[in-house]
Chains A and B, each alone.
Chain A
Amino acid sequence: MVIQNYSLGPIDLASIIPYVAMGTILGFILLIVPFVIWFERVVIALMQDRLGPNRVGPRGLLQTIADGVKLFFKEDLEPAAVDRSLYYMAPVLALIPALAAGAALPFASISLRMADGSVKSLPLVAGNVNIGILFILALSSLQVYGIVLAGWASNNKYSLLGGLRSSAQMISYELPMSLAILTGILMSGSLNLVDVVNSQAGSILDWNFFKLNPATGFFFPLGLIAGMIYLVAMVAETNRAPFDLPEAESELIAGFHTEYSSMKFAMFFMGEYASMLVVSGIATALWFGGWHAPFDFVLWNWIPGGIWFLAKLTFFIGVYVWLRATLPRLRYDALMNIGWKRLLPLSIVVLFAVATVDAFFFTKDTPAAISAPATPPSGTLTPMAAPGGGQ
């Protein structure tokens, strides 16, 4: 599908694409959250053989919107013992990084016919920068502050325990997560998420998760291992079952947001779902080929890439719900053991296995490659992160 590059004076379609992408992704995250919650409730109800929401709207579809409106009209209870400034800051800090991380997430690409007749393919992403994945990682690290501050500022023992647990859990799983992302970066050769997605064009066997080795045709499951580590760590990072210890309701009431009510509580809730959407989006872009179809097939080649991205995203949200309905909550020592004794060593081994195999078996180490300047001349990141640089 090729769209004419319409222009209106100095502004043409190509130049407003980042803003179109920004509106799409922000609108998508904010509008889809109620329906993700609805989806979760309906699917869990199905799995547990009960009806689930069925009063407001068709099949209960408007239930979460009604709940959201209700939260606007709820009285805001603020205990006298809280640390007020931190108490107000925490819900804001929990939501803003989750939303802002969407800025570097590419979710589709469109083809524009330029004025001179050539066709140009442009990614739909708010900020197509060459450190996209680093930006997202930085913002996802900020999210821990929202939870820790909420736990501390509430001056409630349950909140404090939830906040402490959460901080230890999030930093423990951030390590395997960032090392697994690094493995994906190694396989794609760029920190720019658009280049990462484009390096996976072709069929399902070009996706980093399933990548076959072109030189031997030998199935090499390293991407699969790293991808699985990422998927486990992403569930832990978003504090979802079976890693939902920070708000383990059977022991901690509601964990870090026990003392929050009204819109402040809604901020935590939205932040959790927004970050679920963002980490699932990264999983799609980094491991599952982004907006590319699984393989060329004449019946679905007309489907735009954004729909494929959405389908993969829906799959990951479905996995989240499935996990929540299936697995019991982990014990705390088991959680720490999995993070530090299993995932972390495994992710280091996988990272270096990929690097070593790549450097010693599939890349010719020519003297020219060594004598090439190792540092970029201008001292910026640009030459290194250029698309397909140095391959």
Chain B
Amino acid sequence: MSELYLTFAVFGAVAVGFVCVNLFIARLARPSAPNPDKLETYECGPLPVGEAWQQFNVHYYLFALLFVVFEVEAAFLYPWAVAYKQVGRYAVVEMLIFVAILAAGLGYAWRRKAIEWE
């Protein structure tokens, strides 16, 4: 078993190594001509007013919340998908009930226009 995951470690190490080597070569190869104008944030020419780190639309959080609910559900469904044939029909029925409760949540969000984008 463990030697199976060894290849994953090697694979990951090669991927990380590739990225690091590329960035390192680029650092050696590229020119550097510092200039105060190059330090400015790009905004089509005019000087930017204020920072970008400020309030943004709260609606993004709603989607994140809904995502967490359904992603947890999907995590539960994966072992079920492989095992339900061994467990029998009642596993399908049970999972249907579980998802129906969550789908009611989606229906509520839908009705309250939480997944509506203005």
Q: Which residues of B contact A332 (CB under 8 A)?
A: 117
Chain B residues, Cβ within 8 Å of A389: 82, 86
Q: Which residues of A contact B33 (CB under 8 A)?
A: 75
0/1 per residue, A325-356, Cβ < 8 Å to B?
A: 00000001100110011001100100110011
A385: chain B residues at CB < 8 Å are: 82
A127 touches B71 (CB 8 A): no
A191 touches B82 (CB 8 A): yes
Query: A126 at interface (Cβ–Cβ under 8 A)?
Result: yes
Question: A18 touches which one: B7, B31, B82 (CB < 8 A)?
Answer: B7
User: Do B51 and A129 touch across chains, with their CB atoms under 8 A apart?
Assistant: no
A372 within 8 A of B: yes
Interface residues of B in 49-71 (CB under 8 A from A): 51-53, 56-57, 60, 63-64, 66-67, 70-71
B residues neighboring A (CB under 8 Å): 4-5, 7-8, 10-12, 14-16, 18-19, 22-23, 25-27, 29-33, 38-44, 48, 51-53, 56-57, 60, 63-64, 66-67, 70-71, 74, 77-79, 81-92, 95-96, 99, 103, 106, 110, 115-118
Given contacts A79-B39, A175-B70, A389-B86, 11 further A-B contacts (CB under 8 A): A72-B29, A75-B31, A100-B8, A100-B12, A102-B11, A134-B78, A154-B41, A156-B43, A171-B64, A337-B115, A363-B85
User: B42 near A80 (CB under 8 angstroms)?
Assistant: no
Our pick among A92, A155, A182, A369 for the contact of B81 (Cβ within 8 Å) is A182
Q: Within 8 Å CB of A172, what residues of B?
A: 63, 67
Neighbouring B residues of A135 by C-beta, 8 Å: 8
Given contacts A167-B60, A185-B78, contact A374 B26 (CB under 8 A): no
* Complex Cα spacing A344 to B96, Å: 15
- Please tell me which stretch of A235-243, A256-264, A283-291, A312-320 contacts chain B, meaning at least 4 of its Cβ atoms lie within 8 angstroms of it: A256-264
User: Could you tell me if B42 and A391 are in contact, using CB atoms closer than 8 angstroms?
Assistant: no
Q: Does A168 contact B81, Cβ atoms closer than 8 Å?
A: no
Decide if B82 touches A189 in the complex (CB within 8 Å). yes
User: Nearest chain-A residue to B82 (Cβ)?
Assistant: A384
